[in-house]
Amino acid sequence: MFLSLIFLQILLTFAAAKEISGVFTSFNSLKWRKGANYRYASPAFPSWIAELGWKIDGSKMSAGDTFTLTMPCVFKFTTTQVSVNLKVGNTIYATCRFAPGDILLPTSELKCSLSDTVKQSTSAHGTMSFPLTFNVGGSALDTDVKCGETFTSGVNTVSFSDGDNVVSTTVNFEGGVDTNPDRIAYNARVVPSVNKLQHQVLGGKCGAGYSSGVLGITMLYGTGSIDCSSIHAAISNSLNDWYFPKSIETDFSYTTKCSATSFIINYKNIPAGYRVFIDTLVSSAVGVKHKIRYTNRYKCANSPYIIDNSETVQWQPYCNDVAGANGKEVELVTETWTGSTTLVYTKPFKTHDPTITIVVDVPIPTITYTTTYTGISTSYTTYTVTPGETASVVEYEPVHATTSEVSCWETDSTATTTIIVSTRATDTVLVITPCPKTKVETTTKQEQPITTDKPEPTTVEQVTSEEPEPTTVEQVTSEEPEPTTVEQVTSKEPEPTTVEQVTSEEPEPTTVEQVTSKEPEPTTVEQVTPEEPESTEVIVTTDCNTPPP
């Protein structure tokens, strides 16, 4: 039970740990403390002492939290320690481990972790300092070329970052080399990660370019061994204030010879404005003074003479103060892994092991393919592989399908609109056209409507050659309309004609009386009106011989 509680507490501690920032609050100073008999304060010479302010607030931070101080183009830490503590008196609040970048990475780091002395009530602050050197170049490696263009002779601003928090200070760096740079320039430095020395030599200057030349590094008296897998040859027309390249080109005419004791190139036809340089890693026994011959013979393009500016240099032994200590072979292994960043670590070893292995894990190379599908969001599918192979990622870009609908409206124009709904993968194209017109035929009868209102009187006059008495047509409605008189004139004395009008409300009959000299037979005119007619049609019979109905 007790062990279970301890295990649970450990799990809770790791679960609560988080990456924080803002612990380092200031960059107080950066001062050069001469580590040897150097003639000038080059950023590459030991040692530059950086002093930073820090603050730990227990109300915002917890034991186990981690934070990192990232230092661009810091080459290494010139100390025998592997870590440094943030402490007040004897109380340690955090431990920071040195992680030099040297030739592997363009940055060095302090990887820090808060100790279990940090409580919620903790409020501690102070300063810390540590020695370092900067990377101002020294080879054709990408890290060296990148850092070769970072600093200049004179006042520089140096910035370190703690997460999103950046602290800065200004410093004065001195440029130059220990030789006449127009004749030759060379450099050597210890690379802690591989426990080797890096040698570089720059050929003499020819303003018009080179017609030919020889440039080489030779180990004398067996004092070191050249690593032919690490050699580089390049030209540059852009050098910094320490005569290291800020940019390089490797496409030029040259041949190479390399062995454990020498690395030599023969070159020709170098354009004006360019300088030739080579570099390599060298293994050297502990405490041994190694002597090197820098071969530097060349003929300028505008001269028939061969110039020989070769030099022999004896380098004093350098004690490696970082991982593995002196006297051990460090093997550098590059592998791929499934992470997204480059990771450097040292494999476990014992004190009597002759070899220490440093592994550089780089992300698995990935090829991305893009395709489309009917949908609303972008998605990805990763096809993983084992380290050493190339992985692939398929990116699915969404596209919308389209459907059409047709409708109509009561206008003479046509309109088209696209309806897009963000949550649907199908868009609707709506086409609105004029609705078709339907022809309606209406038949109208000339019928006189019967209403409850009083109709206007209608008079029909009939005239005869004789003097007949007038014929009166009387029309009776429910509202007593005025009488209607019909007069007709004939050559004879027609008999009286009666006109009857029938309505749905049983109106009284209307009698048309006609007086003539004779007694004609009566003619009856009937007018029938349906219920609620649109009009009324009056039919009059003019043939007096037609018998009445």
Tell me: do 163 and 23 sit in the same domain. Answer: yes
What CATH number is attached to the domain comprising 143? 2.60.40.1280
Residue with tokens 């897998």: 229
Residue 356: what pLDDT?
61
Per-residue pLDDT 10s for the chain (549 aa) are 444 444 445 444 444 578 999 999 999 999 998 877 788 899 999 889 999 999 998 889 999 999 999 999 999 998 888 899 998 888 899 999 999 999 999 999 999 999 999 998 888 888 999 999 999 999 999 999 999 999 999 999 999 999 999 999 999 999 999 899 999 999 998 888 888 889 999 999 999 999 999 999 999 988 889 999 999 999 999 999 999 999 999 999 999 999 999 999 999 999 999 999 999 999 876 667 778 999 999 999 989 999 999 999 988 754 333 332 233 445 566 777 667 667 676 777 666 565 567 777 777 777 887 888 788 788 878 777 676 677 777 888 888 788 888 888 777 788 888 888 877 878 888 888 888 876 655 555 555 555 445 555 544 444 444 444 444 444 444 444 444 444 443 444 444 444 444 444 444 444 444 444 444 444 444 444 444 444 434 343 333 443 444
- Which residue range is the domain that position 426 belongs to? 401-434
Taking a C-beta distance cutoff of 8 angstroms, is the pair 346, 330 a contact?
Answer: no
Provide the token pair at 456.
Answer: 């206007």
Tell me: do 395 and 418 sit in the same domain. Answer: no
Q: Is residue 461 situated within a structural domain?
A: no
DSSP string, 113-151: EE-TT--TT-EEEEEEEEEEEE----SSSHHHHHHHTT-
Tell me: do 32 and 152 sit in the same domain. Answer: yes
Q: Is residue 448 situated within a structural domain?
A: no
Q: Report CA 203 to chain centroid distance, whole Å.
A: 45
Residue 446: what pLDDT?
53
Q: In whole angstroms, give the CA distance from residue 460 to residue 484.
A: 8
Residue 442: what pLDDT?
55
Tell me: do 349 and 420 sit in the same domain. Answer: no
Tell me: do 145 and 37 sit in the same domain. Answer: yes
SS3 state of residue 167: strand
Tell me: do 408 and 392 sit in the same domain. Answer: no
How many domains are contained in the chain? 6
Of 61, 160, 71, 74, nearest to 120 by C-alpha is: 61
What CATH number is attached to the domain comprising 201? 2.60.40.2430
Q: In whole angstroms, give the CA distance from residue 159 to residue 169.
A: 7
Neighbours of 142 (CB within 10 A): 11
Residue 482: what pLDDT?
46
Q: In whole angstroms, give the CA distance from residue 482 to residue 492.
A: 30
Q: Report CA 287 to chain centroid distance, whole Å.
A: 54
For residue 10, give every residue at least 6 positions away whose Cβ sits within 8 Å of its Cβ, in sequence order, or none. Answer: none
Distances in whole angstroms, Cα of residue 161 to Cα of each of 58, 66, 129: 21, 14, 16
Q: Is residue 118 situated within a structural domain?
A: yes
Residue 287: what pLDDT?
64
Residue 545: what pLDDT?
41
Task: Name the maximum alpha-carbon separation found in the chain.
Answer: 174
Tell me: do 135 and 244 sit in the same domain. Answer: no
Q: Is residue 543 situated within a structural domain?
A: no
Tell me: do 122 and 67 sit in the same domain. Answer: yes
What is the per-residue burial (b if ≥16 Cβ within 10 Å, else e) of 176-201? Answer: ebebebebbbbbbbbbbbbbbbbbbb
Cis amide leading into 168 (omega within 30): no
Taking a C-beta distance cutoff of 8 angstroms, is the pair 220, 291 a contact?
Answer: yes
Tell me: do 304 and 262 sit in the same domain. Answer: yes
For residue 62, give every residue at least 6 positions away whose Cβ sits within 8 Å of its Cβ, in sequence order, or none. Answer: 16, 17, 18, 114, 118, 120
Burial class (CB in 10 A: 0-12, 13-18, 19+), 209: middle
SS3 state of residue 241: coil
Q: Is residue 179 situated within a structural domain?
A: no
Q: Is residue 320 situated within a structural domain?
A: no
Q: Report CA 444 to chain centroid distance, whole Å.
A: 76
Distances in whole angstroms, Cα of residue 230 to Cα of each of 100, 221, 222, 281: 20, 21, 19, 6
For residue 451, give every residue at least 6 positions away whose Cβ sits within 8 Å of its Cβ, in sequence order, or none. Answer: none
User: Which value, to the nearest 10 degrees, does the dihedral of the CA atoms of residues 358, 364, 365, 370 take?
Assistant: -160
Burial class (CB in 10 A: 0-12, 13-18, 19+), 212: middle
pTM above 0.85, yes or no: no
* Cα dihedral across residues 234, 239, 240, 246: positive or negative: negative
Tell me: do 201 and 167 sit in the same domain. Answer: no
Q: 397: part of which helix (H) or strand (E)?
A: strand 391-399
Of 432, 403, 434, 402, nearest to 417 by C-alpha is: 432
Tell me: do 385 and 309 sit in the same domain. Answer: no
Q: Is residue 267 situated within a structural domain?
A: yes
Residue 520: what pLDDT?
46
Tell me: do 299 and 347 sit in the same domain. Answer: no
